[in-house]
Structure 1
């Protein structure tokens, strides 16, 4: 009876969250934590937990496509994972190979135009996994409706370090002037293909840290972060929608902050900057509480005052 009631409550909450969500982040990144603890709690081994987690991964891909997410990055195997016991590591490699090939051949991947690609130091992986990566990337290379990034042998700081070394080599070779270095010079050396800025990071398993995951694209974009306690195999659609709602609340807060700052600047900036401030206020006016919203007359008054002063 209690289980039946719980399912009814969860279903009702899921419907409520679905109605509350009005938009979706473009790029969601997920740290899939808790597979081993999930298995341990059930008396199983780590491999059973990883396999249960792979089923959750398939569901999350569908949920992302349902609400309009355009890019999903999964932290599947970090550089630290190489330190795990050999038998666990080999079983995980077997599962990665199996799932990469399975995804590459799945009808839903081809029907939805999913482009699969790997991020990280793939050359460190066993040959069978590298071949599976090449197979998945090759089978889906012509698609562009949805991007699925699989972070393998991945470490965020290591990626940044390699990009910086690439920039330094270009400077030494005389191909790049130090004063001309910009964001694009770093980004084009991070990955073979562009990766969108991360809008939302989700981490399961209870830990509240982002573990060196996509630092350039997440921290640089001030991504929203949603930490939750379920282990990855237990992660539900309700949990997913709560994460999306966290992103929306962050966006609303950001808009209000931008609008308030622009309002404060209207009376304190020079005339060339005034137009930019007015444009920001006009764009984000609806994000402010009604008591704080300026009307068009206030802008006109500012213009008139400025002209009289001139």
Structure 2
């Protein structure tokens, strides 16, 4: 029966791989459930974290296989400092070990993986900061896949710090409040993610994003995939399901944009309609055939006109 189950899981995994046609550029993962996994097995929390580190290595490989360009891992939040000291110390030792191991791994250098830490890293023990610095220096020249490790990270703290920096510049340097834009804020965020988040994955059964990357994820209306396996139990099938969730979210988003643009075409005058028509031409392929035919009739577009690339 175990061989049958393995065969079925393998067949389902191959089916999901065949179905996946679009890959998110940036995946962010909340690695939840390490401690509960260990507790259910009668092990120490450290054993759960170590098992979770093995899953992290697998996820990095899956991202490389599928062409994901950026992976951000919620490894240690600011709230985690409240956990028992001996548990955190063991986790810090594991982080030091894995950061140095990753930084020296041939597969990391062969694949061009750049490792960076984001968060209030100055709050971490010196040995962890040194391991972070070592990993960042060893991989600084790569850009094929960005691996961001969120350590001592809190999304509200990040935004609050950025807001304070902007307020000081307004008061001290005379920055015009009307000139504050997205770029003004982004320059003051933690140095880390280089692009917006397309997909958030959370393991362990909880359905919340826990103050994770609010600017890069929620501002981009990222797709979210919640699943019940604890992080050490997370398998490629689960990862492929999350990618499928992202694809469905993208398809729904494109249909919504096309329908809104169609409503604009119907509502605006001729002088204002060119931009709406341009958006329609870009997204009309997302509409069902009946709506697409109606669109072409209403806007006098050529049915054979090639859509511009996204």
Shorter-chain TM-score: what band? over 0.9
* Corresponding residue number in structure 2 for 1:298: 298
Q: Map residues 176-215 of structure 1 onto 2, 5 A cutoff.
A: 176-192=175-191, 195-215=194-214
| SS class of match (1:149) | strand
What is the alpha-carbon distance in structure 2 between the residues aligned to residue 113 and residue 205 of structure 1?
A: 30
1:287 aligns with 2:264: no
Superposition TM-score, scaled by structure 2 size: 0.94
Contact residue 265 and residue 299 of structure 2 kept, 8 A: no
Q: Map residues 45-64 of structure 1 onto 2, 5 A cutoff.
A: 45-64=44-63
How far has the Cα of 1:248 moved from its partner?
A: 0.3
1:68 aligns with 2:50: no
| SS class of match (1:261) | helix
What is the alpha-carbon distance in structure 2 between the residues aligned to residue 59 and residue 193 of structure 1?
A: 22
What is the alpha-carbon distance in structure 2 between the residues aligned to residue 176 and residue 149 of structure 1?
A: 31
| SS class of match (1:173) | helix
| SS class of match (1:75) | strand
C-alpha change, 1:60 and 1:193, in structure 2 (3 Å) is: closer
Deviations 1:157-204 (A, max 9, x none): 000000001101111112521110000111110023553100000000
- Structure 2, unmatched stretches of 5+, are 302-310
* Corresponding residue number in structure 2 for 1:227: 226
How far has the Cα of 1:300 moved from its partner?
A: 2.6
How far has the Cα of 1:150 moved from its partner?
A: 0.1
What is the alpha-carbon distance in structure 2 between the residues aligned to residue 297 and residue 195 of structure 1?
A: 41
| SS class of match (1:226) | strand
* Corresponding residue number in structure 2 for 1:276: 275
Superposition TM-score, scaled by structure 1 size: 0.94
Contact residue 70 and residue 145 of structure 2 kept, 8 A: yes
Contact residue 187 and residue 194 of structure 1 kept, 8 A: no
What is the alpha-carbon distance in structure 1 between the residues aligned to residue 102 and residue 223 of structure 2?
A: 28
| SS class of match (2:173) | coil
How far has the Cα of 1:76 moved from its partner?
A: 0.4
* Corresponding residue number in structure 2 for 1:111: 110
How far has the Cα of 1:299 moved from its partner?
A: 1.9
* Corresponding residue number in structure 2 for 1:305: none
1:153 aligns with 2:157: no
Deviations 1:255-282 (A, max 9, x none): 0011111111112113343111111211
What is the alpha-carbon distance in structure 2 between the residues aligned to residue 234 and residue 86 of structure 1?
A: 26
What is the alpha-carbon distance in structure 2 between the residues aligned to residue 288 and residue 297 of structure 1?
A: 14
What is the alpha-carbon distance in structure 2 between the residues aligned to residue 18 and residue 203 of structure 1?
A: 20
Contact residue 148 and residue 193 of structure 2 kept, 8 A: no
* Corresponding residue number in structure 1 for 2:304: none
C-alpha change, 1:272 and 1:219, in structure 2 (3 Å) is: farther
Deviations 1:70-91 (A, max 9, x none): 0000000000110111110100
Contact residue 188 and residue 194 of structure 1 kept, 8 A: no
Of the structure 1 ranges 201-210 and 255-264, higher mean CA displacement relative to structure 2 is found in: 255-264
How far has the Cα of 1:21 moved from its partner?
A: 0.6
- Structure 1, unmatched stretches of 5+, are 302-310
| SS class of match (1:9) | helix
Contact residue 285 and residue 293 of structure 1 kept, 8 A: yes
* Corresponding residue number in structure 2 for 1:130: 129
1:15 aligns with 2:52: no
| SS class of match (1:159) | helix
* Corresponding residue number in structure 2 for 1:304: none
